[in-house]
């Protein structure tokens, strides 16, 4: 009896398994900042949290710190190494309204092996320029983060699909009209319409090399030309007097084919030189028959921008997981759409053929 009445001495660690510990409040050591609290998070949330902590939004590339690409501010950001002589120089993004429209949907830029031009075209103008100096204007494109993305069609949103591919060397693209006189820059707009994006790792044409399904931020650099440098191209900004400008609304995801149909539609509507999409003569000829200019894509599916916007779900959180169920549902919807397009195309082609035969008989 005496032995049964003897109190059992428990380790201090054993309290974690007592009823009081289970029913009681959370230990003070398990705060949101502690490792124990992190272990209680779901696997996906913990992955994203660790991923974010290990990779802050401020990415340092070639001595230039870039701002968070998701910022709502539309201000220019300069490099910490900005020359004092260029401190008064300001840069303005032209066609900003168009860039804003694309940014709202999630801008996509096509990359090809031979190189594809950007649209919207990057056009800028400068103020605060000294008319007596000469300047070089350059552009480069750097990764926003170290993530790879995937587009979920049924959600109309981009999802994080994993870690980014190994980073590619950053190329500086010098505007072909450089160097500019200060007087020239005061009066004209600098357009990077000849700049091309490629996924060819062995490119020797000076194109900007990017990874598909990765997010990027273009940057503009203005460099005060040294008299002793001649017209030699600039491969690094380390030894130059320069100032960098970043426009968050120009962030884009590099793709080999457009993922968001709204982006496709907006590019067609906004770009008079949209390759492979617009041919005004043939479009007029076949518009009444419902057949697309390439004889395959019915015009009935080319909805107006307003209609598409009404049905578009703005669920663009990059933190959503992409499950196997999501993939099956996406593939199912895609097959149904292709089946419907194929069926309607056959009916339209058959009707067009019948009308042609009838016209021949009438003649």
Using one digit for the tens of pLDDT, what is the confidence trace for 235-272? 778 778 899 999 999 999 999 999 999 999 999 999 88
Q: Is pTM, for the whole model, over 0.75?
A: no
Residue 70: inside a domain, yes or no?
yes
Question: What pLDDT does residue 338 have?
Answer: 72
H or E stretch at 270: helix 261-270
**What is d(CA 222, CA 179) in angstroms, rounded to the nearest whole number?**
10
Under 8 Å between Cβ of 199 and 124: no
In a domain, 159, yes or no: yes
Please give the angle made by the CA atoms of 276, 278 and 280, to the nearest 5 degrees.
140
Q: Does residue 142 lie within any of the structural domains? A: yes
Q: What pLDDT score does 90 carry?
A: 96
Which pLDDT score is estimated for 36? 42
DSSP labels for 12-50?
Answer: GGGGGGSHHHHHSPPPTT--TTSHHHHHTS-HHHHHHHH
Residue closest to 173 by CA, chosen among 201, 209, 138: 138
33 part of a folded domain: no
For 258-288, b where at least 16 C-beta lie within 10 A, e where not — what string?
Answer: bbbbbbbbbbeeebeeeeebeeeeeeeebee
C-beta neighbour count of 77 within 10 angstroms: 17
pLDDT at residue number 353: 60
Rg (CA), the chain: 28
Name residues of the chain where pLDDT drops below 50: 1-8, 10-80, 279-304, 306-308, 310-322
Structural domain span for residue 128: 43-255
Give residue 37's pLDDT. Answer: 40
Report yes or no on 242 lying in a domain: yes
CA distance linking residue 136 with residue 222, whole number of Å: 6
Q: What whole-number distance in Å separates Cα of residue 52 and Cα of residue 143?
A: 15
**Residue 228: predicted pLDDT:** 65
- The CATH number of the domain where 78 resides is what? 2.60.40.820
User: Long-range contacts made by residues 58-66, C-beta under 8 angstroms, separation at least 24?
Assistant: 59/142, 59/143, 59/144, 59/145, 61/142, 61/170, 62/170, 62/236, 62/237, 62/238, 63/237, 63/238, 64/219, 64/237, 64/244, 66/142, 66/217, 66/219, 66/246
Q: Are 349 and 289 in contact (CB under 8 A)?
A: no
Give domain status of residue 177, yes or no. yes
The tokens of 325 are what? 């169920």
Q: What is the pLDDT of residue 352?
A: 59
pLDDT for residue 94: 96
3-state secondary structure string across 225-248: CCHHHCCCCCCCCCCCCEEEEECH
Number of domains in the chain: 1
298 contact partners, CB below 8 Å, separation of at least 6: 290, 291, 292, 341, 344, 345, 348
Residue 31 inside a domain? The answer is no
């Amino acid at each position: 009896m005496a032995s049964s009445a003897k109190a059992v001495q428990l380790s201090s660690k054993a309290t974690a398994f007592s009823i009081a510990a289970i029913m009681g409040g959370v230990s003070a050591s398990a705060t949101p900042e502690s490792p124990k609290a992190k272990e209680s998070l779901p696997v996906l949330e913990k992955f994203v949290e660790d991923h974010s902590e290990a990779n802050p939004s401020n990415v340092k590339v070639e001595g230039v710190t870039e701002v968070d690409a998701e910022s709502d501010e539309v201000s220019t950001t300069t490099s910490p190494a900005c020359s004092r002589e260029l401190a008064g120089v300001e840069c303005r993004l032209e066609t900003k309204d168009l860039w804003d429209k694309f940014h709202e949907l999630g801008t996509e830029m096509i990359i090809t092996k031979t190189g594809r031009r950007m649209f919207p075209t990057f056009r800028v103008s400068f103020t605060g320029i000294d008319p007596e100096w000469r300047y070089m204007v350059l552009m480069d494109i750097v990764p926003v983060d170290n993530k790879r993305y995937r587009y979920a069609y049924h959600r109309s949103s981009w999802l994080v699909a994993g870690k980014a591919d190994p980073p590619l060397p950053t190329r500086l693209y010098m505007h072909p009209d450089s160097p500019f006189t200060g007087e020239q820059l005061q009066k004209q707009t600098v357009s990077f319409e000849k700049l091309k994006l490629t996924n060819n790792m062995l490119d020797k044409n000076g194109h900007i090399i990017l990874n598909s399904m990765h997010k990027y931020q273009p940057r503009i650099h203005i460099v005060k030309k040294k008299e002793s440098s001649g017209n030699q191209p600039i491969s690094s900004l380390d030894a130059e007097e320069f100032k960098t400008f970043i426009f968050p609304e120009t962030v884009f995801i590099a793709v080999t084919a457009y993922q968001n149909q709204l982006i496709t539609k907006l590019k067609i509507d906004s770009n008079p030189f949209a390759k492979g999409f617009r041919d005004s003569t043939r479009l007029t000829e076949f518009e009444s028959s419902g057949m697309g200019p390439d004889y395959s894509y019915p015009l009935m599916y080319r909805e107006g921008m307003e209609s598409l916007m009404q049905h578009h779900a703005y669920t663009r959180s990059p933190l959503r997981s992409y499950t196997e169920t999501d993939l099956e549902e996406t593939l199912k919807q895609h097959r149904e759409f292709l089946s419907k397009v194929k069926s309607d195309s056959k009916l339209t082609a058959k009707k067009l053929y019948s009308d042609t035969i009838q016209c021949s008989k009438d003649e």
